[in-house]
Structure 1
Amino acid sequence: MCLLLIAYRQHPHYPLVMLANRDEFYQRPTAPAQPWQEQAITAGRDLEAGGTWLGMAPGGRVAAVTNIREPGTPEPPNAQSRGEIPLAFLSGTASPVDFSTGLEGARYRGFNAVLFDHKVGAALVCAGNRHQPFALTPGVHGISNGAADAPWPKVTRGRESLAALVAELPEQLDSEHFVAPAMALLADTLRAPIAQLPDTGVGRPMELALSSIFVRIEPEDLAGESPISLAGGYGTRASTLVAVHRDGSTHLWEQTYVDGQASGRLRHFSYPPT
């Protein structure tokens, strides 16, 4: 249950700027973002299922996936991990449109996948199995665990904050003017007013706990009022920034968290221009 904030063609030098929080069970084994030895990608790794939630590849390719919150919906037979979707895109050469067209959505539980390749015309596409693939228009977008740009409080708040941040960015992204304020944006723990919460079938206490940009939930927070078990705790495990320059150079910054607290140093990776 994550959040993607995307500024597409809103900066003269960076056609894609993406901010993301990955929310997951604290006990799910995960490796932080790093270059993969067996494939030319840089991404975090889900050690349980083997895929990733967000990553980049040389040539200005970026992919991310979020699940769709739909409790009670039957799983497809032999459901595959949604983490294999961004991995397959990053490992291949298909354009976002072609990859989306060939994606067998019925194999997965509900998802949105954002696919970017700076070398092609329809560079930014949102694929999914609850809608037809579509190209995202230039602008600031947000995707959580529903439809793209759904007016959930965290999506609306995140889009507004990212739009303000991008408007002040210098020609070259740096730590002071981009990385630090973007990470602060992703660390926002403000929960939404009750009246603004969506109703996605998880109960009011859970909707409230998930309404902040940065999520931290302990089992006792829900007082047994949620249909979803959060044994061991649940929340934001990683905050990630991605920026693709118009020359094809690509940058990724990541901060990981343990039990809601920053763990280790902020990591930075990059690929050269193409």
Structure 2
Amino acid sequence: MCIALLSTAHPRYALIALDNRDEYILRPTSRPHWWTHKPSGARILSPRDLHRRERGTWMGITSTGRLAILTNYRESSQDDPDHAICGVRSRGALPTAWLTAPAEEKLDHFVGRMVDDPATKAAGGFSLICGDLNDKPENAIEPLAIITNRCDELAGVPRIAGDRGTTYGLSNTIYIEPPAWPKIKKGKQLLEVAIQDAIEKDLNEGELIDQLFTVLNDDTMPLRPDMSMQDHMDVLRYSIFVPAFSDAEGWKDMADAVEKGRGKTAFDAIEDESDSGTQLPADPRVNFMKGAYGTQRQTIILIDWEGNVTYKERALWDAHGNRLDKDQGDMVIKYKIGESSQ
């Protein structure tokens, strides 16, 4: 039950984007790094999902300022063949489709292409926030689009973040305004308060980021000892942060992973297009449901008016199911849009 929050309310930044990735803790996932998409030559900064062949992502930005953020759609039934939870096409490939689109392709054309593409429906339910941040008119950015394959009228693609002083939220449901889910409502409210407080106190970037993490850490998960795994899943819409939960089998999987990981590095080293040694599933539609579930990664992206990007990811768990403190799990990458990336 991921959540993405975006705002244009801070005068120093064209856009602020926050994201909690809620996932099975043991799902193999790289740390954010620069990698090159060989066919297009695009340089992309993102973590990558090492479970699926496509090596997709849920949040990435290119050296030229293209941004993509993915949230999955919370299906109401696991037995609905028209709304597969895990499709033949990896949802993680959808952000990559925008990040690696031809440089001359405009957002409107990409949106139309995605809406008309039958392969879009072959993925599990998703919402994709995408747009270009290198084209910033005075006091605004070009609106971002939200594409989904779980809407009756796909042609009605919402546009967001084109106006100053606005805040938006999206989770595992269709984007609507005002939002219906409690976690989205509260996330928007907390982000607005955090930004206003940062403006009034003239906080520097590091202090602002600390404020933004308090938004992502807001935990109002209604938990009871008698709750089943499904009961936990049913209340995910209430809390921005999701504390790890599981059944007895899942906690055993976590303990086994910790034991097997003793003496190993916290994360697999990923260099550019390296596939690492992670074993791929035999069936590309195989979902990953092993171990505890909860907020696995937290990401904050800041883009100022000069095109300076600050990308900070906080990993809350390592690849072997060990909890990390913020000193262990934090990564910060900075660059300027349009300049060569490392």
TM over 0.5: yes
Residues matched between the structures, number: 261
Q: Is the 2:85–2:125 contact (alpha carbons within 8 Å) kept by the matching residues of 1?
A: no
- Structure 1 residue aligned with 2:219: 189
Residues 1:80 and 2:89 are matched in the alignment: yes
- Structure 2 residue aligned with 1:134: 158
CA distances 1:156-211 after superposition (whole Å, capped 9, x unpaired)? 111100011122334785111x11111122122222599xxxxxxx9544222553
In 1, Cα distance between the equivalents of 2:248 and 2:185?
A: 25
- Structure 2 residue aligned with 1:28: 27
In 2, Cα distance between the equivalents of 1:206 and 1:237?
A: 15
Identity of aligned residues (%): 26
Q: Is the 2:67–2:132 contact (alpha carbons within 8 Å) kept by the matching residues of 1?
A: yes
Q: Is the 2:148–2:174 contact (alpha carbons within 8 Å) kept by the matching residues of 1?
A: no
Q: Is the 2:316–2:329 contact (alpha carbons within 8 Å) kept by the matching residues of 1?
A: no
Which structure 2 residues correspond to residues 224-243 of structure 1 after superposition, within 5 A? 231-243=290-302
Q: Is the 2:219–2:242 contact (alpha carbons within 8 Å) kept by the matching residues of 1?
A: yes
- Structure 1 residue aligned with 2:242: 215
- Structure 2 residue aligned with 1:270: 334
CA distances 1:91-142 after superposition (whole Å, capped 9, x unpaired)? 2333332222111322211110001212177431111112332211532111
Residues 1:117 and 2:101 are matched in the alignment: no
Which structure 2 residues correspond to residues 32-181 of structure 1 after superposition, within 5 A? 32-38=31-37, 39-49=42-52, 50-70=55-75, 71-72=77-78, 73-74=80-81, 75=84, 79-92=88-101, 93=103, 94-103=105-114, 104=117, 105-118=120-133, 119=135, 122-131=142-151, 132=154, 133-137=157-161, 138=163, 139-149=166-176, 150-170=179-199, 174-176=205-207, 178-181=208-211
In 2, Cα distance between the equivalents of 1:141 and 1:160?
A: 10
Q: Is the 1:23–1:215 contact (alpha carbons within 8 Å) kept by the matching residues of 2?
A: yes
Partner amino acid, structure 2, of 1:130:
R
- Structure 2 residue aligned with 1:18: 17
Q: Is the 2:300–2:312 contact (alpha carbons within 8 Å) kept by the matching residues of 1?
A: yes
Name the SS for the 1:15 alignment partner.
Answer: strand
Partner amino acid, structure 2, of 1:86:
P
Change (3 A) 1:166 1:81: same
In 2, Cα distance between the equivalents of 1:76 and 1:5?
A: 23
Q: Is the 1:59–1:249 contact (alpha carbons within 8 Å) kept by the matching residues of 2?
A: no
- Structure 2 residue aligned with 1:197: none
Change (3 A) 1:18 1:61: same
Change (3 A) 1:237 1:122: same
Larger strand proportion of the pair: 1
* CA displacement at 1:36 relative to structure 2: 1.5
In 2, Cα distance between the equivalents of 1:29 and 1:257?
A: 13
Partner amino acid, structure 1, of 2:25:
Y
Q: Is the 1:218–1:230 contact (alpha carbons within 8 Å) kept by the matching residues of 2?
A: no
* CA displacement at 1:13 relative to structure 2: 2.9
* CA displacement at 1:76 relative to structure 2: 9.4
Q: Give the RMSD, CA atoms, in angstroms.
A: 2.9
Q: When the two structures are superposed, what TM-score results if normalisation uses the length of structure 1?
A: 0.84
In 2, Cα distance between the equivalents of 1:91 and 1:13?
A: 28
In 1, Cα distance between the equivalents of 2:44 and 2:291?
A: 31
Gaps of 5+ in 2: 251-286
In 2, Cα distance between the equivalents of 1:242 and 1:11?
A: 13
* CA displacement at 1:231 relative to structure 2: 3.9
Change (3 A) 1:210 1:156: closer
Partner amino acid, structure 2, of 1:162:
L
Residues 1:6 and 2:11 are matched in the alignment: no
In 1, Cα distance between the equivalents of 2:110 and 2:22?
A: 26
Q: Is the 1:209–1:217 contact (alpha carbons within 8 Å) kept by the matching residues of 2?
A: no
Q: Is the 2:20–2:299 contact (alpha carbons within 8 Å) kept by the matching residues of 1?
A: yes
